[in-house]
Amino acid sequence: MKEACGKLPVIVFDRGVETDCAVTFINPIGGYGYGAVAADFLVDEVKPKGKILALRISPGVDVLETRWSAAKLAFEKSELDVVDVKFTDGDPAKTKSVVSDAIARHGAIDGVWMDSGATAVAAVEAFEDSGADVPPITGEDQQDFLETWKDKKLTAIAPTYPTFQWRTPVIAALRILKGEQVPKEWKLPQPTVTEDNLDDYLQDGMPPLHYAMCGCQKLPGFPGAWGGKK
């Protein structure tokens, strides 16, 4: 990295590096914001003493660890009871098993916090399979979750780690080539999908793994080039 900085302008985005020689570092607000938004939602929606199941993908991933650290702090300050913190490996089948076991063990789960929305639909299905109401749940801006949220009228929220950040390094590079200034640290917005704006982000005809924050809606070829239907 440092060697590259000595020869040409370097742009860093998404994750940081252990040097500040880059011309610009582009990233969103980050994992703390994500984790706090999701946890605060449950603190507001779940009654005191409510049982919270925290579902995590895998340990040691920096952005996921920061999400959990923010959520953990919010829960510790609340009157909610985090009864389980379980890793799912991002596997829908394992997620269903973890949720089903938690329901059987604790009698009821009153809220679900997730550090990533990849298996949120599997968690919803596990409650349905158990004959239990789906409690307030956090997900992400993934198409399958947004559709499930709307169709089943869930009490939910979707904090995001916006995938549209791929565009900004391209914009930065073009500006640098033109001799224009770019900010040393370029912070991007990190929108949250809520009940009030769900319809604004839910795009009909997109594949299950499509992310609403793709930043692709106005680009040539959309939606077909992104697997969607017109």
Q: Look at residues 108, 111, 105 and name the one whose alpha carbon lies nearest to residue 82.
A: 111
Amino acid making up residue 178: K
Residues 40 and 134 in one domain: yes
What range does the domain containing 8 cover? Answer: 2-29+163-226
Q: pLDDT tens, 153-173? A: 999 999 998 888 889 999 999
Residues 73 and 132 in one domain: yes
Residues 22 and 62 in one domain: no
Average pLDDT over residues 169-198: 95
Residues 42 and 21 in one domain: no
Of 113, 139, 159, at which residue does a domain stop? Answer: 159
Q: How far is CA 103 from CA 17, 56, 153, 203, in A?
A: 42, 17, 21, 33
Average pLDDT, the chain: 94
Residues 153 and 170 in one domain: no
Q: Look at residues 177, 138, 195, 185 and name the one whose alpha carbon lies nearest to residue 161.
A: 138
d(CA 118, CA 124): 12
Q: Is the pLDDT of residue 1 over 80?
A: no
Residues 79 and 148 in one domain: yes
Q: Is the pLDDT of residue 76 over 80?
A: yes
Question: At 77, which CATH number?
Answer: 3.40.50.2300
Q: Place 13 in a pLDDT band, splitting at 50, 70 and 90.
A: confident
d(CA 131, CA 84): 20
Of 138, 159, 180, at which residue does a domain stop? Answer: 159
Residues 143 and 35 in one domain: yes
Average pLDDT over residues 74-99: 97
Residues 10 and 57 in one domain: no
Residue 2's pLDDT is 80
Residues 52 and 151 in one domain: yes
d(CA 63, CA 40): 18
Average pLDDT over residues 2-15: 85
Residues 154 and 206 in one domain: no
Task: Write phi, then psi, for 60 (nearest 5 degrees).
Answer: 85, -5
pTM of the model: 0.90
Residues 133 and 204 in one domain: no
Q: Place 176 in a pLDDT band, splitting at 50, 70 and 90.
A: very high
Residues 148 and 193 in one domain: no
Of 141, 159, 177, at which residue does a domain stop? Answer: 159
Give the chain's domain count: 2
